Amino acid sequence: MDENEALTDQGTDLQSDQNDNNQSMEALLEESSGVELPQPGEIRQGVIASISPSQILVSIGAKSEGLIAGRDLESLSDEERAELRVGQEIPVYVVNAEDDNGNVVLSFKRAQEQMTWENVERMLSSDEVIDSNVSGFNKGGLIVNVGGLRGFVPASQVSAARRSMSTGDTPEQRWQKMIGDPISVRIVEVDRERRRLILSERAASTESRQSIKERVISEIEVGKTYTGRVTSLADFGAFVNINGADGLVHLSELSWDRLTHPSEMLEVGQEVKVKVINVDREKRRIGLSLRQLAEDPWQTKIQKFSIGQLVEGTITRLTKFGAFARIEGDLEGLIHISEIADHRIEHPKEVLHEGDVKTLRIIRIDSDQHRIGLSMRKVDSGAFADKDFKQLMSDGVLENEDPQG
């Protein structure tokens, strides 16, 4: 081989080595670019690298380590800290990808909590039955721990057998003796943002939801009042669960005041008292009312009025069938077109205008429908002369007049 051939071969070998190095570097860059750096809010599996009284160092991959320190470390109980070991794999929540000192800040507690909420959400969708123990109570029901979270079992969702043992006038008398007792529950509502976890012992029983509703519908009584919990809100009303079955409170039955949406007065999970106003056993529907348990302001306002009484009213609306007038107390009544004038008219506008103030006579009061019938043509009716005289006397109009005059 001559000198030129040797140089050519050497150049080829150098070029080959350079190509190999370039390929190795490209592979390394590709591998490095695939590494996902820690992001705030994510949960990672880490390995405890070291433990000291002031911090726990956790390796979270990609040659990255983070710290559990400060408040999060202090929030761990002595028992929880004693269970942690170097080399142990644990979930950690990334609080800060890089603090002022360049450290990745981690939280063991928040990782556990987030994973628990995800777990209870899964249990909600799968209707899983959870075995636990009663850990406490409040005036509304029982407290049950589910994976480290405090769940609430409303009194209406406690099983019939357990409720039969909850005798007494105070929550302590009813529930205190049940603390520590085993209990099986199902999750019926999860609201992670508000840290709300609602449970039901009734739903975890051997009865199916369908059979529970059928049983409730067979037992429920129209006219009676029950305590329930709001399960959902819709444009047309609110669904309230009573004894394991949902009933509907129509928008018109929420309040005596005019509402545009149930959220103006209710929220999901709220405990309310409702009155059963109808039950359709064939279609398995329950109609409920909140407003019928509240005092009707209309009934209070109408108490000072009676049929035959003269009142002053302001015309508010004209329709082809009559005119509406507002009387004292913001009550509104209807002057039917036949009660406007003694002669026949085709439309109230022939005699009246909006804003006119007229003396009117009350000729009908319908308390059930909240309707008042008014008349203009009966204002001077002789049929009411005696009543008019008594009203004038009570108003003091005639008390100073000379009866001989």
| 403, HSE (Cβ side, Cα atoms, 13 Å) | 2
Phi and psi of 197, rounded to 5°?
A: -135, 105
Q: Which residues pair with 56 in a beta bridge?
A: 51, 68
Domain residue extents for the chain: 43-113, 127-200, 210-293, 298-394
For domain 298-394, which architecture applies? Beta Barrel (2.40)
For every one of its 405 residues, what pLDDT tens digit does the chain have, with 9 covering 90 and above? 555 554 445 555 545 555 554 444 444 444 444 456 788 888 888 899 899 888 899 998 766 788 888 888 888 888 888 888 999 999 898 888 888 888 888 988 888 888 888 888 888 877 788 889 999 999 889 999 998 789 999 988 888 778 767 777 788 888 998 999 999 999 989 888 888 999 999 888 755 566 667 778 888 889 999 998 888 888 899 999 888 788 999 999 999 888 899 999 998 888 899 999 999 888 888 999 999 998 888 888 888 888 888 999 999 999 999 999 999 868 899 999 999 998 999 999 999 999 999 999 999 999 878 899 999 988 886 666 666 666 666 655 555 544 444
Mark residue 41 as left, alpha or beta (left: phi above 0; alpha: psi -120 to 50; beta: remaining).
left
Three-class SS state of 161:
helix
Provide the pLDDT for residue 26: 43
Instruction: Assess contact for 121 and 164: CB atoms under 8 A.
Output: no
What local confidence, expressed as pLDDT, does residue 217 receive?
Answer: 83
Name the nearest CA neighbour of 236 among 225, 247, 248: 248
Q: Does residue 308 contact residue 361 with C-beta atoms inside 8 Å?
A: yes
Query: Which value, in Å, is the radius of gyration of the alpha carbons in the chain?
Result: 38
Q: What is the pLDDT of residue 121?
A: 87
Please state whether beta strands 357-366 and 149-154 pair in parallel, antiparallel, or not at all (unpaired): unpaired
d(CA 91, CA 53): 20
Amino acid at 335: I
Structure tokens at 71: 């408040």
- pLDDT at position 393 is 66
Task: Check if the beta carbon of residue 104 is closer than 8 Å to that of residue 64.
Answer: yes
Q: Which CATH architecture is the domain 210-293 placed in?
A: Beta Barrel (2.40)
Residue 209: predicted pLDDT: 60
Q: Return the residue matching tokens 């405090």.
A: 150
43-113 and 127-200, same CATH topology: yes
| pLDDT score of 396 | 58
CATH number of 127-200: 2.40.50.140
Span 119-150, pLDDT tens digits: 888 888 777 888 899 999 998 899 999 987 89
Which helix (H) or strand (E) is 141 found in, with range?
Answer: strand 141-146
Structure tokens at 261: 């949406």
Considering the four listed CATH numbers 2.40.50.140, 3.30.230.10, 1.25.40.10, 3.40.50.720, the one that applies to the domain covering 43-113 is: 2.40.50.140
pLDDT the model gives residue 330? 80
Half-sphere exposure of 260 (CA within 13 A, CB side): 0
